[in-house]
Structure 1
Amino acid sequence: MTVSGELGVEDRPLFEGLQQWHGFLLRKAAQAVTGHAERDLCPLQVTMRQFGVLSVVAAEPGLNQRAVGCRLRIDRTTIVALVDKLEGAGLMERRRGPDRRTSALHLTEGGVARLREAQEVLAEVHQEFLSPLSAEEREALRNLLMRLVARQPGL
């Protein structure tokens, strides 16, 4: 509550007229979990997008930027900026690729450690965010979201 006794923005219930729209609710849920994740990752100096890049490169060392961007559905300009930032922070390095025209991406030891820390932070964020749901409901939600995302070629 505010000093005047009015409800603050965070205290107000979601406008009922918009609760019928799945997209609106998905957006609000995404804003909530992403906001918490970004806040909790801030001390590690890693963003959610950077976490995605670190995760892909950890799983598939040696990929080039373009391939990482494709895996994450991120455009070329954005992936270059993300890799530049991670490289500048000492978390990732570019090595000459096998065909010598591209760079192969690899995590540094610091990058591996930072990714591990970020995974722990995000596990806590997701645990808290999903706490109202049972394990079965969480799995069902994940499966439904995966189906929806898979049908969107540009995401």
Structure 2
Amino acid sequence: MVPYHYAERKRELSPTRPAIRNDGSGSEPAVEPVAATRHRDVRLGFLIHDVSRMRRSAFDRLMRPLGVTRAQWWVIAHLSRQDGMTQIQLADIMDVGKASLGTIVDRLETAGLVERRPDPVDGRAKRVFMTRKSRQLLKTMQDFERVFNARILRRLSDAERNALVRMLSLIRADLVGFAEEGTGSGPGRPAGGEPRPRSRRRR
């Protein structure tokens, strides 16, 4: 199967053919509005996915000289917003397993970037805190990120950036709602998530 962006690029480079009508003149039928809408929405989905993937990859390369992995700087970023979270909270926010999160925190603690402390209420739980070293690292990361964002957003005006934030926030809110539905809707299920009754086959 040809990747979508390659097919899209090939279509953009191919010479434009004259529009054809269904009147027997030998021209191709014009694109149906429904088909055009479907094509646009599919393309939008691929663009969102590609932009997210490419941004993560580029930012990983940017952070590499600092000696931290994506997962490690992601932990530091979350702790900068809410320091002292438990490992379970961090695992839930990052959508990773508890064991995987524990390994990440182990490496950060060995590097002196985080500190574990017992929970004052639940002695079995451990809370994770930033250190002076990780706060200094965070400042460097933020400086790098400002330069990075200025580069990749330079063609968008402030108004366009604000509009993009609003639109992506709407999409994210719907995705959160979709995830909270559990089963969601899909083939064989209506919007409420209840399965449609199956028709009985005649024997």
TM over 0.5: yes
Q: Does 1:106 align with 2:129?
A: yes
C-alpha separation in 2, matches of 1:21 and 1:40? 28
Show the counterpart of 1:51: 73
Worse-matched range after superposition: 126-135 or 144-153: 144-153
For structure 2, the 5+ residue unaligned runs are 1-7, 13-38, 180-203
Q: Give the helix-richer structure, 1 or 2.
A: 1
Asked if the contact 1:97–1:104 (Cα under 8 Å) also holds between the matched residues in 2, the reply is yes
Q: Does 1:26 align with 2:24?
A: no
* Alpha-carbon RMSD: 2.5
Percent identity at matched positions?
A: 26
Show the counterpart of 1:67: 89
C-alpha separation in 1, matches of 2:149 and 2:95? 22
| SS at structure 2 position matched to 1:61 | coil
Quick one: higher RCO (CA 8 Å, sep 6+), 1 or 2? 1
- The number of residues matched between the two structures is 144
C-alpha separation in 2, matches of 1:51 and 1:152? 25
Show the counterpart of 1:121: 144
1:68 deviates by: 1.8
TM-score normalised by L of structure 1: 0.79
Show the counterpart of 1:37: 59
User: Could you tell me which amino acid in structure 2 is paired with residue 40 of structure 1?
Assistant: L
For structure 1, the 5+ residue unaligned runs are 1-12
Residues 137, 75 of structure 1: CA spacing in aligned structure 2 closer, same or farther, 3 A cutoff? farther
Residues 85, 74 of structure 1: CA spacing in aligned structure 2 closer, same or farther, 3 A cutoff? same
| SS at structure 2 position matched to 1:46 | coil
TM-score normalised by L of structure 2: 0.62
